[in-house]
Amino acid sequence: MKFAIRDDDACYFTPVSSLERVYREVWDRVPICLATVPFAVGYERIGIPREQWSSGEAFALERNGELVSALRELTAARRVTIALHGYTHQDYPDGYEFQAAPDPERRVRDGLQYLARLLQADISVFVPPHNALSKRGLTAVGNAGLNILGSFLSFRPSMRPWDGRTLANWWRVRQYRAATGRKKSDPCIYPHALRYANHAEFGCHSLIPGTTLEQLVAGFDEARRAGGDFCLATHYWEVSDAMRAVMLRLLDYVARYNDVRFVAAEDLFA
């Protein structure tokens, strides 16, 4: 069984100290997949100055030289891997970036090239901003050869482009729901990679304010019983001391099992 961690929203606004506070000894146990925004446009969240929440100004990652240097060192040491997290992460009146932006194809292409060059990193994973994708957005990501690591991904065929594997994957998830006694409306994180014609997808368990150790342990145990894998997803900027304690206790729980490997998130698709 494989266990990975994903962290969202690394960008120009990210202080290196914030990453170090959360992951200072964690990334020596398991590499952290940092879902990184190439040209962040401010939106309403902790860590972004209020005056930038609706300014529309794009901040290139390279303008934060301290962060770029740190990310290069961390990736070289395999403490961190880099995923593409949108292009600007901006919100539109009619949806999130990869639901509503007029040019998702360009954003994937240019964002991928920019991050790979700037951080000297191999990038094979896309994390949708706000975990939201339109059909066109999903197609753009898949055509770029990127796998998708997300939360609350919709597996309904009507919500995605059709290919020869869509129906079979829908059936796999439906059978898993039935086997675990879930109703149609019950949340479900399918613990295996779903492979489509030109990409694969894997769902994550969220660590957010209020998440308990018991909830995460139950999700991990279920995935292990199913012969699957597990990915924890969080945001460095909202990880409190209490949330960090939950993460550390989960790592200690997982480490008890000899059949579990701590891996980079990219390995979930291997």
- Residues 31 and 263: their CA atoms lie apart, in Å, by 6
pTM of the model: 0.95
Q: What is the pLDDT of residue 162?
A: 85
Dihedral (Cα; 157, 160, 161, 164), 10-degree rounding: -40
- Among the residue ranges 15-19, 20-24, 161-165, 197-201, the one predicted with the least confidence is 161-165
Q: What percent of the chain has pLDDT over 90?
A: 90
Dihedral (Cα; 96, 102, 105, 111), 10-degree rounding: -60
Q: What is the pLDDT of residue 160?
A: 81
Q: Sign of the CA dihedral 221, 222, 227, 228?
A: negative
Round the CA-based radius of gyration of the chain to a whole number and report it.
18
Residues 143-165 have pLDDT tens digits of 999 999 987 565 566 778 888 89
Residues 125-130: what's their mean pLDDT?
96
Residues 71-85: what's their mean pLDDT?
98
Which domains are delineated in the chain? 2-269 (3.20.20.370)
- In whole numbers, what is the pLDDT of the chain averaged over residues? 95
Dihedral (Cα; 114, 7, 45, 16), 10-degree rounding: -70
Q: What is the pLDDT of residue 231?
A: 98
Name the nearest CA neighbour of 198 among 139, 157, 151, 135.
139
For the chain, the residue count is 270
Residues 38-60 have pLDDT tens digits of 999 998 899 999 999 989 999 99
Name the nearest CA neighbour of 18 among 266, 245, 240.
240
Q: What is the pLDDT of residue 183?
A: 87
